[in-house]
Amino acid sequence: MKLTIVAATGGIGRHLVEQAVADGHDVTAVARRPRELPASVRAVAVDLTRPDMPTLAAAVRGADAVLSALGPRNPRTDAGITSRGTREIVAAMHAEHVRRIIIVSAAPVGPVPVPGQPTPPRHDPGDGFFMRHLGVPFTRAMFGRHYADLALTEQTLRDSELQWTVSRPPKLTDKPLTGRYRTAWNRNIRGGFSVSRADVAHHMLAMVNQPDTIEQVVGIAN
């Protein structure tokens, strides 16, 4: 398969690249610092804080799917990057008639209001007592602007008319790939407090060929 991976040198992106290459896919890797990418991929330099639409369009041209691990380096100070960058990715995909996209969001995003969903559920249906009353309020107090931006990112996909899927992991870790994780559609994972970046990448790649995940939000946790 021909895959374009965005934010290819980030925490999840590097695992996407490594696993996609190992699986024999034809990979175009989009990154701010492409010199960090392996020689086995087509590397494209794009800074999505200052998008270059012709270069981005060329990067997605002919792709069977786009996988985006785009996110801020510092969620407390760099909010806004993900929604802006995703809008550019969607525009490039429309220009090149590419349909399939899978992105990374975050578990606390579900109850965050956006213009398209001004009255979301008060709690994610998968969250237990601890997450509803302690975990989620704490993380929103710390990273509220980041989650609001991710909610806008998800809204961009819902409005895009593309074949989109959103992956919502909880706390990300650097533990090794296991290939063993729990998933659920349109809800978080009960008792799922963390997941490795490697396993998130593994699941994103698996969903490329799962048409039943199109237009779905998928929770994942170890």
| CATH code, 33 | 3.40.50.720
The angle at the Cα of 60, spanning 8 to 115, to the nearest 5 degrees, equals 85
> pLDDT: is 144 or 81 the higher one?
81
Task: Return the pLDDT at 72.
Answer: 80
Average pLDDT, the chain: 88
Tell me the residue range of the domain where 78 lies. Answer: 2-221
DSSP 129-169: HHIIIIIHHHHHHHHHHHHHHHHHHHHHHHTTTSEEEEEE-
Q: What's the whole-number mean pLDDT along residues 34-47?
A: 93
Q: How far apart are CA 14 and CA 6, in angstroms?
A: 10
Secondary structure (3-state) at 128? coil
Angle at 63 between CA 59 and CA 69, to 5 degrees: 70
Identify whether the C-beta of residue 101 lies closer than 8 Å to the C-beta of residue 157: yes
Taking the whole predicted model, whether its pTM rises above 0.85 is answered as yes
210 or 127: which leads in pLDDT: 210
Number of compact structural domains in the chain: 1
Residue in the structure block whose two tokens are 């804080």: 49
DSSP class of 33 = -
